Structure 1
Amino acid sequence: MGDIDTCGCKVGRVTAKYGRGDVDEWLIEEWQDEMSIRSLTAEFNKEIIEEELTAVGASRLEWSKTPVYEALHTEELSEPETIEIRRELERAGVDVEQLSSDLVSHQTVYRHLRNCLATSGPDEKSAEERREQARNRIYALQQRASLVTESTVESMQTAGVTNVGDPEVLVDVRIVCRDCGRSMDLDEVLTGGCDCPPK
């Protein structure tokens, strides 16, 4: 997916301000992968907060367990907790009022996806788009499983626990119909599946 031009809505202005031009692609992919708008909004805002903390020289690790997002953009914390976190941010050099103003609502993210990026939600995808999404997701998991397994085996060999020469890891996904016992590969399932009558 290529670069997406910055738009003039709040999401576009905020991403340009914090140098996060890659966020649009992420928003599209995650929304079409069925992440909720509210979850997208929370993750987007947390990224903006992290960018601001980095900009003022604050340690991400130091702040990683502090509920900054909850203090600035939700009502999940008590008032004393919220006040204390805001004071800590100010002491760290953060313009708390400006950062709070830069955080976006889920309605803003939704309008950005629909109006600025002309993106369809997960419920509007065609059958072929759903097949391709499922195929890509499972193939990515296969690749990850292969890499993790290969790395683990190599570590075991280095430690002298096992010896399998030059290992090649193959990860195959099979789906078995419990009604008739037919074993199918992923493409068979995605393009038709089993023809046996369900019990």
Structure 2
Amino acid sequence: MSDSEPGRRGKVEQLIEKHDLDGIGDRLERRWTANGDERKSLRDLADEFNRELLRVALIDAEIQPLDGDVENVYRLLTDDDVSTADRTRAKRRLDREDVDVDHLQQEFVTYQAIRTYLREHRGASYSSEKRDRTESEKEHIQRLRGRVQSVTNSKLAQLRRNDDIELGSFRTLVEVNVLCRDCGTKYAVEALLDNGGCDCVGSDE
């Protein structure tokens, strides 16, 4: 997949115009900005867009795909779990049907291209996106802290069993604190993230 952008227009915009994909831009934006379970990720939308490109390629080759055909062929072409033999057979079948597989795969877009199209071309935004990133990073930090705690417990217990150290019943505490050097306030990292940053930022004092 290449996201190169000849000229000023982005790749997704060019492909929409080239293949007359009327309405797909509205659909992508609507699904990206939806709430709850109806919202689709950028990766899901990239797959949806690429399946539409595949559907058009099949129709251009005078192949009328049956229900589920497009999804299955796309899976064979792109899924990491598909064997090399199955992927090769799928490509050969498309070649026999006069589908230019190499060109089609070059047209496939990544989630970054979809994001660029939605944000820069359509001016779309997802209000919870910033919050989602913060929550994701907080969870990542918590997992790392849990791993440090687990490894420390294991190593201390091993040293104690081997009589390398003397230690009674113990409990490992792992804290991650953040000190704001501008105001001197110290936060637990979760509290800082939940607070949206340090209170001194943007203060008039």
Cα distance in structure 2, aligned partners of 1:84 and 1:11: 28
Name the structure 2 match of 1:192.
none
**Larger-Rg structure:** 2
Change (3 A) 1:67 1:83: same
Cα distance in structure 2, aligned partners of 1:115 and 1:124: 16
- The Cα of 1:124 is off from its aligned counterpart by 5.9
- Runs (4+) of structure 1 moved beyond 6 Å? none
Greater RCO, 1 or 2 (C-alpha within 8 Å, sep 6+): 2
Change (3 A) 1:28 1:106: same
Cα distance in structure 2, aligned partners of 1:14 and 1:46: 13
Identity rate, percent: 27
The one-character-per-residue Cα deviations of 1:93-129 (angstroms, maximum 9, x if unpaired) are 100111111110011111111111110115169xxxx
- The Cα of 1:76 is off from its aligned counterpart by 2.7
Query: Any gaps of 5 or more consecutive residues in structure 2?
Result: 1-7, 131-205
Equivalent pairs counted in the alignment come to: 119
Q: State the TM-score, normalized to the length of structure 2.
A: 0.53
AA at the equivalent of 1:10: K
Asked whether the equivalents of residues 51 and 71 of structure 2 are also in contact (C-alpha less than 8 Å), the reply is no
Name the structure 2 match of 1:10.
11
Change (3 A) 1:113 1:94: same
Asked whether the equivalents of residues 73 and 103 of structure 1 are also in contact (C-alpha less than 8 Å), the reply is no
Q: State the TM-score, normalized to the length of structure 1.
A: 0.55
Change (3 A) 1:86 1:62: farther
Cα distance in structure 2, aligned partners of 1:91 and 1:60: 15
- The Cα of 1:63 is off from its aligned counterpart by 6.8
Q: Does 1:123 align with 2:128?
A: yes
RMSD of Structure 2 on Structure 1 (CA)? 2.1
Q: Does 1:42 align with 2:43?
A: no
Query: Any gaps of 5 or more consecutive residues in structure 1?
Result: 1-6, 126-199
AA at the equivalent of 1:25: D
